[in-house]
């Protein structure tokens, strides 16, 4: 009831301090997927009449991760209202609008889609060097229909703006456009060129693995992940990626299952593939091995943790 009351009455002005509200502690818990602990840390703060913008922002992110999209929108809008100069707040507000649109009816979806674009555009205007905001805007331009502001030309313009600031991130943006247009060969060449120039980039390796997987060219994809795990055993996402590659290819099933189990044992963070998806991939592997009982157990764990997996694209 305390949280419900706080959601119904928007905070009016910034007050308090990080030490009192423990924003950093809450965010650290959120990033480690300890969502309930993060929420408990901030609930006393957001119940006050006046809430600092940073606390409103972190609490909005907590609610978004909890699946409370209406609450997330409300609190992230509050953070933006209290501090109008933070591109980060606007970027996450755009994500919250997007999540809300997925749950809304047709007319509300149109309104929310426009708000998504507006939030990302405002974020880029505030901080032209925020490459994540530019990438979000690029993705919107690729995914949205023309009447909602989607445009391949605008996406290309964003890629050019990104590349002028970072050659590496610019190559990733160009590869994303090529992939969206189903030009997998072109995307692969871009990633291979980027990997030659930036051999230490983990993000480029994962991008190339994703393209190789879609091309069903599994041997070089496995080689990339094997080399990454050999040089960086603590790179958790590589374990998930190898498991997904195994699940989809039907190759090296024992290795894939072992890596997915290690991944689940490592407590993946918020920026890494979710445990629910790891359970789903593990179920795929067990099904291919004929271990039906274990497969059904893993699928049940996946669907219980994230029901949307039933409807999600598989590649």
Q: What is the reported pLDDT for 106?
A: 87
Can you spell out the DSSP letters for 233-250? TT-HHHHHHHHHHHHHH-
Which pLDDT value is given to residue 314?
A: 58
What structural domains does the chain harbor? 1-83 (1.25.40), 221-309 (1.25.40.10)
Give the pLDDT confidence score for residue 203 in this predicted structure.
96
Task: Output the pLDDT for position 6.
Answer: 41
Confidence (pLDDT) at 312:
72
Residue 190 burial class via C-beta count within 10 angstroms: exposed 0-12, middle 13-18, buried 19 and up:
buried
Burial 291-306 (b: 16+ CB within 10 A, else e): beebbeebbebbbeeb
Q: What is the per-residue pLDDT for 13?
A: 37
Model confidence pLDDT, tens digit, residues 215-247: 999 999 999 999 999 999 999 999 999 999 999
Strand positions, DSSP E, the chain: none
Place of tokens 């030009």: 183
Residue ranges of the chain whose pLDDT lies below 70 = 1-19, 313-315
- What number of residues does the chain have? 315
Query: Which residues are CB-neighbours of 314 under 8 A, at least 6 positions away?
Result: 248
Check residue 315 and give its pLDDT: 55
Q: Which two tokens stand for residue 76?
A: 């992230």
pLDDT on residue 311: 78
pTM of the model: 0.87
Helix (H, G, I), strand (E, B) or coil at 186: helix
Predicted confidence at residue 59, as pLDDT, reads 98
């Amino acid at each position: 009831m305390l949280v419900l009351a706080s959601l119904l009455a928007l905070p009016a002005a910034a007050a308090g301090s990080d030490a009192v509200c423990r924003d950093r502690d809450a965010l650290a818990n959120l990033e480690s997927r300890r969502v309930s602990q993060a929420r408990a840390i901030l609930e006393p703060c957001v119940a006050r009449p006046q809430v600092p913008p940073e606390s409103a922002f972190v609490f909005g992110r907590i609610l978004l991760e909890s699946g409370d999209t209406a609450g997330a929108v409300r609190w992230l809008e509050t953070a933006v209202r209290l501090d109008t100069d933070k591109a980060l707040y606007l970027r996450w507000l755009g994500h919250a609008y997007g999540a809300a649109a997925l749950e809304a009816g047709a007319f509300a979806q149109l309104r929310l889609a426009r708000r998504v674009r507006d939030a990302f555009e405002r974020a880029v205007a505030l901080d032209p060097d925020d490459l994540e905001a530019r990438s979000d805007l690029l993705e919107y331009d690729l995914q949205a229909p023309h009447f909602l502001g989607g445009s391949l030309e605008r996406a290309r313009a964003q890629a050019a703006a990104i590349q002028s600031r970072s050659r590496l991130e610019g190559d990733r943006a160009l590869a994303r456009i090529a992939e969206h247009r189903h030009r997998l060969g072109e995307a692969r060449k871009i990633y291979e060129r980027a990997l030659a120039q930036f051999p230490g980039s983990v993000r480029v390796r994962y991008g190339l693995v994703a393209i190789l997987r879609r091309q069903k060219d599994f041997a070089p994809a496995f080689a990339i992940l094997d080399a990454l795990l050999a040089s960086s055993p603590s790179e958790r996402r590589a374990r998930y990626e190898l498991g997904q590659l195994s699940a989809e290819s039907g190759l090296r099933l024992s290795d894939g299952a072992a890596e997915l189990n290690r991944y689940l044992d490592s407590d993946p963070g918020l920026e890494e593939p979710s445990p629910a998806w790891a359970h789903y991939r593990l179920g795929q592997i067990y099904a291919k091995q004929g271990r039906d009982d274990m497969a059904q157990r893993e699928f049940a764990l996946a669907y219980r943790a994230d029901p949307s997996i039933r409807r999600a694209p598989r590649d």
